[in-house]
Amino acid sequence: MNYPKEIRINEMVLRDGLQLEEKVLSVEEKHSIYDSLKKAGIQSFEFGSFVHPKLVPQMANSGELFTEIAQDAEGIELIALVPNLKGAQKAQELQVKEINFVFSASDTHNMQNVRKTTEQSIEELKEIHSFSKESGMKLNVTVATSFGCPFEGEIPESRVLSCLKELEPLQIHTVTLADTTGMANPKQVSELMSKVVSEFPQLDLGLHFHNTRGMGLANILAGIEAGVTRFDAALGGLGGCPFAPGATGNVCTEDVVHMLHSMGMETNADLSALLEASASLEKLIGHPNKSYILKAGPYDRKYPVPELSN
């Protein structure tokens, strides 16, 4: 297998990572996470979302955070999640340059998430597409529950491909398929993504995995082998969907970077700096995170040989 030389990481901790945390972090605390990740070489961030603060109070200060970090963000992608046209308009008012709209391949999950059917969300996407084009904002789309729904179970491949056909004429900047509650397996990822890459070669594709059942890294590898080179991840493995039962954290950024670097693929990220950021994150959230590498160290870590006792 000839693996790609470089993989792009889109950091999700400031949005997806923090939205299930009991502690609501201040702008200053979020800014410190951003600074530590930027220092580690991360160049793409989903920094927050413009949802109603009563629904996701952890994201209520996303606008304030953007105003601060945008002042020194040359060469950095700062992406806001928007649930609807109103969210896109809010992003435009703040001069956000890139937004991400999410809808679900599963009607049931989409209803739980935004109180609309998948088809209704796609119609709203078309409005957002027109608005973002007029406003000069890049528009990304994430198709949630692409690998399974906690309510409906298996999502047919034909359903996912049908959603992508709806997106094809819109010329979306990046299209990400999301495993919202960690139901995917490597064989499934390989088969679906091989078809997607073949049928939609013009799409800039990404993948978003959760490690709910411990298969996140294996699924990333299956995605890479199918031709995908952009992946979402969250520092410390934090995160999950507030509207999906059993949701747990994203694949962990430092674990992903460690795997890729050990296989000879580059990410522009500095693993040592990521581990420092992960340790600082634990102090901010007040509990251990889910990073394996923070606990065990990288694969090439060497220990002193203990002296043998007589």
Active site residues: 241
The CB density around residue 48, as the number of other CB atoms within 10 Å, is: 28
Closest CA to 100 of 55, 53, 153, 62: 62
What is the CA 269 to chain-centroid distance, rounded?
16
Q: Which residues contact 66 (CB under 8 A, 6 or more apart)?
A: 47, 48, 78, 80, 94, 96
DSSP letter string over 129-151? Answer: HHHHHHHT-EEEEEEETTT-BTT
Which segments of 35-181 are extended strands (E)? 44-49, 77-82, 98-104, 138-144, 175-179
Q: Please say whether the beta carbons of 228 and 256 come within 8 A.
A: no
CA–CA separation, 227 and 225 (whole Å)? 5
Closest CA to 289 of 180, 215, 211: 211
